Structure 1
Amino acid sequence: MLLPEAMSVDLPMFSRLRRAIALSKQHQQDQAQQIKTWQEIVQLAPVGFLQVDGENQLLWCNQQAQKLLRIHPNWRQGHTQLLIALVRSYELDQLIEQTRIAQQPQVQEWLFYPFSQDAEEIGDRLGVTLRGYSCLLPDGDIGVFLENRQPLVNLTQSRNQWVSDLAHELRTPLTSIQLVVEMLQGRLDSSWNQRLERVLHEINRLIQLVKDWLELSLMEVAPSEHLSCKPLNLSALIHSVWQTLEPIANQKQLTLNYSGPDNLLVEADETRLYRVFLNIFDNSIRYSPRDSQIYAVVTPLMPKTSDLVQRSPVASPVASPVASPVASTVQIDIIDAGSGFTEADLSSVFDRFYRADSSRTKQAILGKNISNNGNSLPMNTGTGLGLAIVKQIVEAHGGSISAQNHPEIGGAWLKIWLPKVSLSAK
């Protein structure tokens, strides 16, 4: 008699359990359908996407990623294999590893050369510029979106070549016009002198623009071939550049606050490196308020800490650390007290023909071209190529440069890293 009573009690529970199981199965089917739908969308996306597990085994990738990375067509989802075995790309592997270490998304751009065992194909293969955006996924997986930047690179190279050809064609006629105007200055009456001065100023600006562009093109094609490197005293070079610009700086009562060793030698091309500091100090002087300081802080970095040291000079004089003869890299911080860069401009300050935001530009002062030891000063020419040239020269020396706003002073903060550094005995 107890069995029917027990069954009468359990039947509603069994019914609810069956209903819950049915709902769970339906939910799983819905989720599976959603996953399938999203995979189909990602599969047809114009950007590449791949997913690796915690052991860097490729779990899944879409058609675009398979095409960009030249993954063998026989590979299929479910055939777990190490990514490095399928794609011989150190940069991609590093991007994934950096994402694991930092536990946050990373971005990296590199030139990818597809792997091939055919000797003839290796000689004919062309690199593809890729940009990878990584992201963290559940269960320790990493996802990477891949963007093919090669069409943009080709377009930029084509544009630059066109402008370089135009610059070559303009150089001779501009020089001829300059000579004619200079000759007329001594032969016409004084009422025409002011007009001729304005014409000559614009001609000089165009000539400087042509020179700047040709300089960029030259450094871009074969940077190391156009460098004549020798050991240079970095402190002496910085002070030499400042002395050249000092007449302009004195008009606004600006001073240089230098901090760093006086015996630091860097293996560099003197003329090119002079141009780097010339362009940077020129910008700093133009955008600094009156009665302020421009800081130049030179810090030798040890081999083990070269990638870690990020010094932050403050408004007061900074004492440099004790230098060591084993320093392999030098960090140079140049800071002004101006309004700094806007957030929108920070990503473009090293682009060609970049012009500063009007709020920063309006602080610029008027100046004149000065020369020192054959180095022409592009003061206030407004070509928009100054920092682009700086970046090209620094990278040609194997260094790097970045721009940001100083957190305490508020002005522009340019950081330069140069290799091949040593300390002289004196």
Structure 2
Amino acid sequence: MTSIRTRLSALLFLAAILTALVIGVVTYREALKQNEELFDYQLRQIALSLRDQGVAPGQAFGFDEDMPDVVVQIWTANGAMLYLSHPGNPLFTRAMLGYTDIRAGNRLWRVYSLATHDRIIQVAQPFDLRRGLAASAALRSLTPLLAFAPLMALLIWWLVGSSMRPLRRVVREVEQRDAHSLEQVAEFDLPDEIAPMVKALNSLLQRLQRAFASQHAFVADAAHELRSPLTAVQLQLQLLERAPDEAAKEAALAKLHEGVNRATHLIEQLLTAAQTDPNDRSAALKPVDLAELMRQALSDVFMFAQQRGIDIEQDGPDKVMVGADAAGLRILARNLLDNAVRYTPEGGKVRVGIIDEASRVVLTVEDSGPGIADEARKRVFDRFYRGDSTGQTGSGLGLSIVKNIADQHGASIDLGRSVLGGLSVAVNFPK
């Protein structure tokens, strides 16, 4: 691809050449016209200089016979020839006062005729000779313009290169960086055309820096969180191996199953949290039936709710369309329901509602659990935060995943107290 400097220099030079050509043509035509007027003035002055001189037949006025650029002939009032400067040139048999163009001897002549009280003076000049002299003078006037063209090309090349210097500085600064250098690029002394690009680049670097920091923190937290369930599984396996009788083995095996389930749930949540990074905006939003997605999410947690004797109700229209990523929205719904079922005591109740308003769609999930204290609601969206819900088997990632997916959809989340006595979560999707 051609460089911007080369392209701009070539285009500016072509524009300058076209402008110079237009100026040259106008200058040439104007110089030609002025030279023609000068030659006409010269013919008139010659005729005027001869009007008062006494003339005898055959008298010469000192015109050079070898330079037939001007032909002079003088008649008496009755038509007798008094003088002819160049006998070898064709005679003009008629005289029209003033300036005229006459063809004689296969040449076109520019003639000026002047009448006095006793004679007629006629001064003529060949048209081709006049035109050649005028063209030569006009071309000489264009010589400085032609000589300026190379200097103009060098000046344009230097000016464009000087203007591109800030861009080359930005390029060098970016080229010297590695994958871990995410500091912002210096924005000083940048042209208005380049400054928006550098600001956009700095904004991208800032988002990447936040994303990398979030991922590093997530990996560290995940490694820490995985140690406990894996250690518990290892200990329960040792207890199973050391069980003295069948009853002890069955109890150890039940604990082992519980530990494996907890570790499996944690790993699933970790994978889901990694896929729903808060800085990710790549999901394509398409029309999705939120009511149908909630029914699918209900089917996902139905067996778990049935085991704990929890009643789940769904209220709202049968079909509500929102702009969303179907896979992400189903994860959001399933995590809300999973949290509600997990933290609701056995025999409790969970209610799901969908409200279709003019400017938004509100998804609500309420439970009859212990709820969340007002002072802890700002922290529940942090990864691995479990609050005071001791004895529960949650991973502390559910609401964090919900918040990430909501941010990707431009939705807001409101936490409150449910009429059932527990937590109420309302997700507001813009229409």
User: Which band: TM-score by shorter chain?
Assistant: 0.3 to 0.5
Relative to its length, the structure with more helix (as a share) is 2
Q: Please tell me whether Structure 1 or Structure 2 has the larger radius of gyration of its CA atoms.
A: 2
Per the normalisation by structure 1, the TM-score is 0.44
Per the normalisation by structure 2, the TM-score is 0.44
